[in-house]
Structures are given as structure tokens and as C-alpha cells.
Amino acid sequence: NAGVTQTPKFQVLKTGQSMTLQCAQDMNHNSMYWYRQDPGMGLRLIYYSASEGTTDKGEVPNGYNVSRLNKREFSLRLESAAPSQTSVYFCASSPTSGGPPYEQYFGPGTRLTVT
């Protein structure tokens, strides 16, 4: 099992450009999450999908959109990138949302720089 995979690993965008970060999991998990990680700050939840067909806003959703394409895949889209979105983005999955087990499994991350 590959676990949680993310593409791309690195990306540089110019302000105003758009892009989609891809995430896939092969653990048959119901729930998937997108976080951003900034220096000196903990992981902050952008959006999550408790189950296929549902998505909900997290702590910092502004400037992002998500799509739960199917049970395996959960993408994050930046429609018009801003320098404030420079960060490392992590996708995670868990068997369920709001119920045990609560452990989340993380992908390797995408390092995004917006100039």
C-alpha cells in the first residue's frame, strides 16, 4: 500500500495563477483532509470530506476549493494564488470522521511558493 500520495511535491506559482493539488489514498478510508503548515504554526485545517460526496470548511478555507472526486481522491484548488498561500500543504485520511479511530494518516506534502 502506498498510503496517502500527493502531487506535485513542489510548485512555484505567480500571483493570480491557479493550480490543483492532487491527493489519493489506497486505505479505503472514508474521510480526507487538507491542511496547511506554516513555520511556527501547527497544522491548520483548510477543508475536509467526512465521506464521499461531502465536503466542509475547516479553519482556513478562504481562497481554496476542494473536490472529493471519489472515495480515493480529494483535490485542493487555488483559483487565484496569493503570496499568503505560500505554505506546505498536507493531505490526510482517516477511517472515519467524528468517530474512532481518530488517527489521521498523512501524505508527504506539497511545498508551494507563490511569488
Partner 1 sequence: GESVGLHLPTLSVQEGDNSIINCAYSNSASDYFIWYKQESGKGPQFIIDIRSNMDKRQGQRVTVLLNKTVKHLSLQIAATQPGDSAVYFCAEINTGTASKLTFGTGTRLQVTL
Count of other CB atoms within 10 angstroms of residue 89: 22
Smallest gap from residue 91 Cβ to partner 1 (A): 8
Q: How far is the CB of 81 from partner 1 (least distance, A)?
A: 22
In a 13 Å sphere around the CA of 51, the CA atoms on its Cβ side amount to 3
The nearer residue to partner 1, 3 or 83, going by C-beta atoms, is: 3
Helix, strand or coil, per DSSP, at residue 83: helix
Q: How many helices (H) and strands (E) does the chain have?
A: 0, 11
Question: Measured from the CB atom, is 63 or 108 closer to partner 1?
Answer: 108
CB of 108 to partner 1, least distance (A): 5
Binding site for partner 1 (CB under 8 A): 4, 33, 40-45, 48, 58, 90, 92, 97-100, 102-109
DSSP code, position 110: E
**Considering all CA atoms of the chain, what is the largest pairwise distance in Å, rounded to the nearest integer?**
41
Query: Cα–Cα distance between 35 and 33 in angstroms, integer?
Result: 7
Shortest Å, Cβ 71 to partner 1: 20
Closer by beta carbon to partner 1, 92 or else 114: 92
Choose between 4 and 66: whose C-beta lies nearer to partner 1: 4
